[in-house]
């Protein structure tokens, strides 16, 4: 067994010990979450936070627009801005559950590392996709293990957890996709301009926008906005907003709203028929069929 495989097993035991049941578990370390799933899941649509996630067991697929990211043991995935995605655990069982560790971060934390290490390229680069997969090397695994181990020694968390987090982000920046993470922290970069547009759309996803207004926020021409937005997110601004609206509508229908028309109106649709068509296109079922199916599936798992 290789040293990296041994480290994966150490991390697997640490996560297993801290997660007694399936789900996403908050920890005593701010911004650190542990994930365990023992069943192949339904595709789940959500807004993915700015985060680093390392997988130690099982396998998962995440769809960003029409682009699929598939990753498993030995991989990590990074989202450098908030993105509407659909994810599904595709390999998991009671004996061998999907286990992962997620660490949320901010562009400010990335910039601090760049300033302290003087590793900024200073070069104008093409805008990169805001989501990428990497391979977990020995240095990165060591840092993640040190962070997870602190959960067994809470008194050391205030001092050591920020240092471990910084080291993890440092090794990601040093990796082959580091420039895709760096671009989201450098003021004035095209990626940061697009990030500002993303933040605006997310904050008011239920309201219509003018593409000219988004271009003004980005300080770009309309054609440049479309090109860079798609490079970062794999979607157009309209497609991005549509995914946010449909995800929220699904949440409303599943959690509290029995009325489809009301849900459509709340997320910004004026036409229920348009809402129903686009909902079915995204989730594969009409709103009524989808919610009935999800509720029945939830009851079966209890």
* Whether 199 and 255 share a structural domain: no
Spans of the chain below 70 pLDDT? 1, 119-125, 257-258, 297-302
Q: Are 104 and 24 in contact (CB under 8 A)?
A: no
* Whether 33 and 148 share a structural domain: yes
Q: Are 220 and 230 in contact (CB under 8 A)?
A: no
- φ, ψ of residue 188 in degrees (nearest 5): 90, -10
* Whether 152 and 210 share a structural domain: no
* Whether 170 and 212 share a structural domain: no
* Whether 168 and 21 share a structural domain: yes
* Whether 85 and 101 share a structural domain: yes
pLDDT of residue 268: 96
Q: What is the CA radius of gyration of the chain?
A: 20
CA quadruple 260, 263, 267, 268: dihedral, nearest 10: 60
* Whether 23 and 169 share a structural domain: yes
pLDDT of residue 42: 82
- Read off the pLDDT of residues 166-191 as tens digits, 9 standing for 90 and up: 999 999 999 999 999 999 888 888 99
Q: Are 85 and 48 in contact (CB under 8 A)?
A: yes
pLDDT of residue 228: 95
Of the candidates 95, 91, 81, 103, the residue with the CA atom closest to the CA atom of residue 27: 103
How many domains, in total, are found in the chain? 3
**Hey, what long-range contacts does 185-192 have (CB within 8 A, 24 or more apart)?**
185/107, 185/108, 185/110, 185/111, 185/114, 186/111, 186/114, 186/120, 189/127, 190/127, 190/220, 190/224, 190/228, 191/80, 191/127, 191/128, 191/130, 191/228, 191/232, 192/107
Query: What is the value of pTM for the model shown?
Result: 0.90
Q: Decide the pairing of beta strands 98-104 and 44-48.
A: unpaired
Maximum alpha-carbon separation in the chain: 59
| Domain end (from 141, 160, 179) | 179
* 185, part of any domain: no
* 227, part of any domain: yes
> What domain range is 251 assigned to?
239-301
* Whether 121 and 45 share a structural domain: yes
* Whether 26 and 91 share a structural domain: yes
């Amino acid at each position: 067994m290789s040293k990296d495989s041994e480290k994966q097993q150490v991390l697997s035991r640490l996560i297993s010990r801290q997660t007694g049941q399936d789900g996403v578990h908050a920890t005593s370390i701010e911004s650190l979450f542990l994930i365990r799933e023992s069943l192949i899941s339904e595709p789940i649509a959500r807004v993915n936070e700015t985060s680093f996630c390392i997988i130690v067991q099982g396998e998962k697929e995440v769809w960003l627009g029409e682009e699929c990211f598939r990753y498993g043991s030995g991989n990590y995935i990074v989202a450098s801005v908030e993105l509407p995605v659909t994810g599904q655990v595709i390999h998991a069982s009671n004996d061998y559950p999907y286990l992962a560790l997620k660490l949320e971060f901010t562009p400010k934390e990335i910039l601090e590392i760049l300033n302290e290490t003087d590793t900024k390229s200073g070069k104008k680069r093409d805008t990169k996709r805001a989501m990428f997969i990497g391979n977990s090397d020995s240095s990165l695994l060591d840092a993640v293990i040190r962070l997870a181990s602190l959960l067994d020694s809470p008194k050391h968390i205030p001092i050591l957890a920020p240092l471990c987090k910084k080291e993890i982000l440092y090794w990601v920046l040093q990796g082959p996709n580091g420039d895709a993470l760096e671009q989201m922290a450098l003021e004035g970069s095209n990626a940061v301009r697009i990030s500002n547009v993303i933040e605006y759309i997310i904050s008011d996803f239920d309201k219509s926008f003018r593409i000219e207004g988004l271009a003004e926020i980005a300080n770009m021409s309309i054609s440049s906005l479309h090109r860079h937005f798609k490079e970062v997110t794999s979607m157009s601004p309209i497609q991005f907003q549509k995914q946010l609206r449909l995800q929220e509508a699904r949440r409303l229908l599943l959690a509290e709203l029995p009325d489809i028309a009301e849900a459509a109106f709340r997320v910004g649709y004026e036409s229920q028929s348009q809402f129903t068509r686009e909902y079915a296109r995204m989730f594969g079922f009409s709103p009524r069929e989808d919610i009935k199916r999800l509720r029945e599936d939830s009851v079966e798992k209890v």
